[in-house]
Amino acid sequence: MGCNKKALVALIGSVFMAGASQVLADPSALMMANTCAGCHGTEGKSVGPASPNLAGISEAYFIDSMNAFKEGTRPATIMDRIAKGYSESQIESMAGYFASLPVYKASVPHDAGKAQMGADVYDKGCAKCHDENGALADDDAGILAGQWLPWLKYSMADFQSGHREMPKKMKKAVKKLSDDEIEAVLHFFASQK
């Protein structure tokens, strides 16, 4: 009896250890994420101005984005086709990986004067939902700080053209702004270090 119990404890222990090491280095999430690196960079640090950094993105926002691309409710040049290649559980697994990385702010060429004017626009219209100058993942509204300027502009253009549905209260804030003010606040996000 005692002997069997020992064996059982050892067995449970080894199963637990196997589970724990899988959590630490989920190879499948990393392997999948590596296929994104051509555009989103290694460890989610985007190499091209048209692709967003994914490092530090919240799990909820990542999953929502991938599903919206899949379903065609969020406009895409390429992500609709890519997202369709992944199952729900694969998307969740990648979400965990990208969310575990520290937020990355690229050194983005920007106009310092516009960024300064944009700080004011940000405080009045965007700070409430895009906290910490757009770097707070917990907002579940995307990482805006340190994103490439062309990506920020495409993203905003999709909203303003109505191709992508804007959250109601964000729409209210954006409607009050001139084109110059919107341009300025995007430079402000791009200027974050």
- Interaction site with ligand HEC (CB under 6 A): 32, 35-36, 38-40, 50-52, 54, 57, 62, 64-66, 76-79, 82, 94, 125-126, 128-130, 141-142, 144, 152, 155-156, 167, 169-170, 173-174, 177, 185
Decide: residue 175, CB within 10 A, 0-12 exposed, 13-18 middle, 19+ buried.
exposed
Decide: residue 113, CB within 10 A, 0-12 exposed, 13-18 middle, 19+ buried.
exposed
Min. distance of Cβ 58 from ligand HEC in angstroms? 10
Smaller CB separation from ligand HEC, 77 or 107: 77
Q: Distances in Å between the alpha carbon of 67 and those of 23, 92, 106, 124, 132?
A: 24, 11, 26, 31, 26
Smaller CB separation from ligand HEC, 107 or 178: 178
Neighbours of 185 (CB within 10 A): 29
Min. distance of Cβ 155 from ligand HEC in angstroms? 4
Min. distance of Cβ 6 from ligand HEC in angstroms? 45
Min. distance of Cβ 17 from ligand HEC in angstroms? 29
